[in-house]
Structure 1
Amino acid sequence: MKTLYYPEDDILELVFNDKPITRETSQDWNVNVSYAADGSIVQMVILDAVAAGLIPFHSEQSKLAA
C-alpha cells in the first residue's frame, strides 16, 4: 500500500495495488473509490481530508512549521 498526501490541496490518496482501474464510484462528495475488474479496491482518493476531520494527519511540513 502506498499513501500520498498533497497538503497544498488537502488530498489523501491511498493506493492498494497497481491493477488497472475498471470502475470508479463516489462514496460522498469527497471520497472516491476505484476498483479493478476482480472487484478489489485499487485506490481511494479523499478530498479535503484533514479539513473534513476524516484523518488526523500531520505531515513533516506541518511539524516544521510548529
Structure 2
Amino acid sequence: MKITYHEADDILLIEFSTLPIVRDESVNWNINVGYTVEGLGELTILEARQCGFYPFEIERVQAAA
C-alpha cells in the first residue's frame, strides 16, 4: 500500500495495488475508486484536508493471544 498527499492540490491518493486500473467509479463529487482486475486498486480523495480526510491517524490493533 502506498499513500501520497499532494499538498498543492489537496489530493490524497491511496494505492492498494500496482496493477492497472480497469474501471473507475465516483462515490461522490470528491471520492473516486479505481478497480483492477483483482478488486480495489486505489482511492483518490479531492479536497482531502478541507473535508477532514487528511491528516489522519492509523491505529494499530494487536490481536489477542
Short-chain TM bin: 0.7 to 0.9
Q: Report the structure, 1 or 2, having the larger helix content.
A: 1
Which one-letter code corresponds to 1:36 in the other structure? T
SS in 1 for 2:8: coil
CA RMSD, aligned part only? 1.3
**Runs of 4+ that moved beyond 6 A:** none
- Flag structure 1 segments of 5+ consecutive residues without an equivalent: 59-66
Q: Normalization by structure 1: what TM-score?
A: 0.78
- Flag structure 2 segments of 5+ consecutive residues without an equivalent: 57-65
For 2:10, the equivalent position in structure 1 comes to 10
CA distance in 2, matches of 1:54, 1:4: 13
Percent sequence identity over aligned pairs: 38
Q: Normalization by structure 2: what TM-score?
A: 0.79
